[in-house]
Structure 1
Amino acid sequence: MISAHFPDLPPLLEIERNQSLSLINTHFSIDTPVPLLPSQVEVGAMHCRPAKPLPKDLESWLAGAGPAGVIYFSLGSVTRGETMPPEYRQAFLEAFRRLPQLVLWKYEGELEGVSDNVRISSWLPQQDVLAHDSVKVFISHGGLLSLQESIFHATPLLVLPIFSEQPKNAMFVENSGLGRMLVWEELTADSIVDALTDIITKPKYKENVARMSASLSDQLTTPQERAVFWPRVRDPPPKGAPQLRCPAAQLSWVQFLMLDVVGLLLVALLLLVFILRRLVRAVCVIIFGGRAKKKKE
């Protein structure tokens, strides 16, 4: 499919072997720590930034939420709210009607039956909203960028994954104590209310996400600085930065899988089995052959 759009592009295997640098959209503080090569640079949460002032009407609305706070609901930029199946939409409307919090819902299109505590908008400055002190929880689809923004601004999550890497991200949220996960097929107004109440009333979720946010921010250089610096560590094209490349990238598949070593070990094992069989047979002949000879005598 890639070659159809870029006919002059070299084969992907050749590109993989010749690449000098990989910028990885993750960071060990928000993912499983793994050993990396010099050519693999973590730039996770590179798009995250400090909050900017909100529009006055939105700032006033959020600030007026009082101690109960605000629930922010967005399913990202790909999934549109108006495509949500009616039964799930009604479950959210009923759940929000029963909650004491204000709800800020990113929803495209018209929506009937909205309670007075819900505010609908087709677009919202997400990072600025997440950084607001009144926001208690973020209902999200669990996309990677939204997950990073929520951790960066220390906002607990209620994740409803839809596709791609989102189920994995949702499990990470639940296992790390950053919030809760719900499954669409089992979604009800009661489950939404119970999950949101649990996240908002128990301080452990806020404490966990705040701790991870502090780890994410505790870096010698920012992801933006690394993303700008490392691509400069190269020679003029087409050489790139061969000093960063791992020699293993040039190995053949026989060398990479160490088939020669495996073959040698198998030969040694077969030889050992053969020798042991001959020894056992010789011992059996000596022992049982001697007994048979004595019986005959």
Structure 2
Amino acid sequence: MKAIILFMLVVILAEKASGDALLPERSYRILMLLPVSSRSHMNIFVALAEALAHRGHKIIMLTNQPSQTTHPNILEVHHGLTHMALAKRNMFHERKNSSTGFAVFPKILPAMARDLYKVPSVQDLYEKRKENDLLVVDHMFNEIVYPFLHELPFITVAVPGIDTRHSAVLGNVLNPSYVPNLWTSYPFPMSLWQRLKNTALHIWISFYWRHWGVVPRIQKEISVHFPDLPPLLDIERNQSLTLMNTHFSITTPVPLLPSQVEVGAIQCRLAKPLPQDIESWIAGAGPAGVIYFSLGSLTRGDSMLPEYLQVFLEAFRRLPQRILWKYEEQLEGASDNVRISSWLPQQDILAHHNVKVFISHGGLLSLQESIFHATPLLVLPIFGDQPRNGMFVEDSGIGRTLVWEKLTADSIVDTLTDIINNTKYKEDVDRMSASLRDQPMTPQERAVFWTEYVIRHRGAPQLRCPAAQLSWVEFLMLDMMGLLLLTLLVLLLLIRRLLRGISAILLIGSCKKKRD
């Protein structure tokens, strides 16, 4: 009996010691800055904020999105500016834009930089910025908040995952011979022409955004508010690390620095019970199963062009499966096997064993959630990185891709039938899901650890790669190569003069012999 009591005491003390070791030294105050964001970007930040808040930290979020969390440790501050009226943009019209939907930012971002610091709530956050232990910034589109970061420790969150521009800022220049650019991808191995195009896009995207079309215009507006502030791109170099929404199992594996931490699928979670009406409807589909259809948070289903809508309605009439469709308005002409709703619990639906296929726009978060819950995909890319994601789905064998302009009822029916009946798609996504889940710690735990690490180590300068402080001339050793070429040129000139001198001496000697 004494042995049992002693054993229980040891277990209790061990658990207590382990728990104390995991607790942070104190409650940190963390300011998250994403005044320019979409709903998908907000989802990643909310996942990170809630993970930190569960640890007892106080989180303040500056955002342009509606509130998405009720956690008592999270305060959401909405700046109220209306420049980013993304909900009013029809993403199907953006398909005709060669800039992949981002041509608006050279106008919107400088205007926001001009107006943001006039908002009282933003002014208050700026004046109290030094009260925070750490600042966290959405790395994409948010150069307008870099004044907050000056002389303070900060990290970034790379929602798109691998962004070659951002990686270069950290000192890790990725090789365009195999690393795709932000918007497009090519089959591997790339041909000479594809490598040439990929390299050109690597250079052009970075140059246009950072040095010509966007950041210089933002810098001009910021300099009006903060004339003594260092250049924005110099401030950006001082980030301690970045949390990257990617994982090597679901993207192109690349070499990473210690300051590049993979937290891909951080928003993914285990399934919760579905509402009873949805559960009954999915279970009632029988062996044929259910097809889930959603175009994401940015593209509304009712923004679909009429010709595409009619093609889907015709295709769904011919399918034996039930269709669960995220559609924001009333839908006329739908068959009895179609159920629509303006909101659906996507992860809980994807986790259901009777959901056979996910028809998706190919957004990165939807792709990650489908892989996490092992559901094959039919991808219909609309804009941005979605065509690249669609190519990944095809190449990895976890689904199929169709193009909107070539869409027909026959192609939809045939493709969905192939995905459902051909077991290789389910087997491949099962394997990828197992690889994604097979980690020593969850993405949430990893993100929390490294965020707290930066705070504990006062910005963790030991994580920063020295290459981040080098100019392109120094990094590529152009000055050294120039010096070597100059030395070679001088050497060649000296050899030439020496040979000419020797030739002249020999010629003079030959002339003397002839005279003698």
Normalised by the length of structure 2, the TM-score is 0.52
Pairwise CA distance, 1:274 = 4.8
Pairwise CA distance, 1:68 = 1.2
Letter in 1 for 2:309: R
Pairwise CA distance, 1:280 = 9.1
The match for 2:331 is: 111
Instruction: Pick from 79, 83, 94 the counterpart of residue 299 of structure 2.
Output: 79
The match for 1:47 is: 267
* Residues in 2 aligned to 1:271 and 1:200: alpha-carbon distance in whole angstroms: 70
The match for 1:213 is: 433
* Count of residues in correspondence between the two structures: 291
Instruction: Pick from 267, 270, 283 the counterpart of residue 63 of structure 1.
Output: 283
Pairwise CA distance, 1:272 = 6.1
Pairwise CA distance, 1:278 = 7.3
Q: Report which of the two structures shows the higher radius of gyration computed on alpha carbons.
A: 1
Instruction: Pick from 335, 341, 344 the counterpart of residue 121 of structure 1.
Output: 341
* Residues in 1 aligned to 2:256 and 2:346: alpha-carbon distance in whole angstroms: 32
* Residues in 2 aligned to 1:37 and 1:58: alpha-carbon distance in whole angstroms: 45
Instruction: Pick from 394, 408, 425 the counterpart of residue 174 of structure 1.
Output: 394
* Residues in 1 aligned to 2:503 and 2:420: alpha-carbon distance in whole angstroms: 76
* Residues in 2 aligned to 1:254 and 1:265: alpha-carbon distance in whole angstroms: 14
* Residues in 2 aligned to 1:188 and 1:280: alpha-carbon distance in whole angstroms: 77
* Residues in 1 aligned to 2:436 and 2:394: alpha-carbon distance in whole angstroms: 18
Pairwise CA distance, 1:33 = 0.8
Pairwise CA distance, 1:276 = 7.6
Give deviations 1:30-73, integer Å, cap 9, x for gaps: 01111111111110000100111111111111111111111100
Pairwise CA RMSD = 2.7
Q: Structure 1 residues 142, 282: CA separation in 2 closer, same or farther (over 3 Å shift)?
A: farther
Structure 1: gaps spanning 5 or more residues: 286-297
Give deviations 1:181-213, integer Å, cap 9, x for gaps: 111111111111111111111111111111100
Give deviations 1:257-290, integer Å, cap 9, x for gaps: 31222212322443565578679989999xxxxx
1:231 aligns with 2:482: no
Q: Structure 1 residues 131, 236: CA separation in 2 closer, same or farther (over 3 Å shift)?
A: closer
Q: Structure 1 residues 252, 6: CA separation in 2 closer, same or farther (over 3 Å shift)?
A: farther
The match for 1:290 is: none
Instruction: Pick from 183, 188, 206 the counterpart of residue 408 of structure 2.
Output: 188
What is the percentage of aligned positions where both structures have the same residue? 74
Instruction: Pick from 204, 224, 227 the counterpart of residue 424 of structure 2.
Output: 204
Q: Structure 1 residues 279, 100: CA separation in 2 closer, same or farther (over 3 Å shift)?
A: farther
1:12 aligns with 2:232: yes
Pairwise CA distance, 1:6 = 5.0
* Residues in 2 aligned to 1:255 and 1:221: alpha-carbon distance in whole angstroms: 38
SS of residue matched to 2:339: strand
The match for 1:295 is: none
Instruction: Pick from 265, 268, 274 the counterpart of residue 484 of structure 2.
Output: 265
Q: Structure 1 residues 240, 65: CA separation in 2 closer, same or farther (over 3 Å shift)?
A: same
The match for 2:314 is: 94
SS of residue matched to 1:82: helix
* Residues in 1 aligned to 2:278 and 2:327: alpha-carbon distance in whole angstroms: 16
Q: Structure 1 residues 279, 188: CA separation in 2 closer, same or farther (over 3 Å shift)?
A: farther
SS of residue matched to 2:340: strand
* Residues in 2 aligned to 1:72 and 1:278: alpha-carbon distance in whole angstroms: 79
Pairwise CA distance, 1:154 = 0.4
The match for 2:384 is: 164
Structure 2: gaps spanning 5 or more residues: 1-108, 119-125, 127-146, 151-230, 505-516
* Residues in 1 aligned to 2:361 and 2:502: alpha-carbon distance in whole angstroms: 70
* Structure with more relative contact order (C-alpha pairs < 8 Å, separation 6 or more): 1
SS of residue matched to 2:254: coil
1:35 aligns with 2:255: yes
* Residues in 2 aligned to 1:264 and 1:31: alpha-carbon distance in whole angstroms: 40
Letter in 2 for 1:130: L
Letter in 1 for 2:293: F
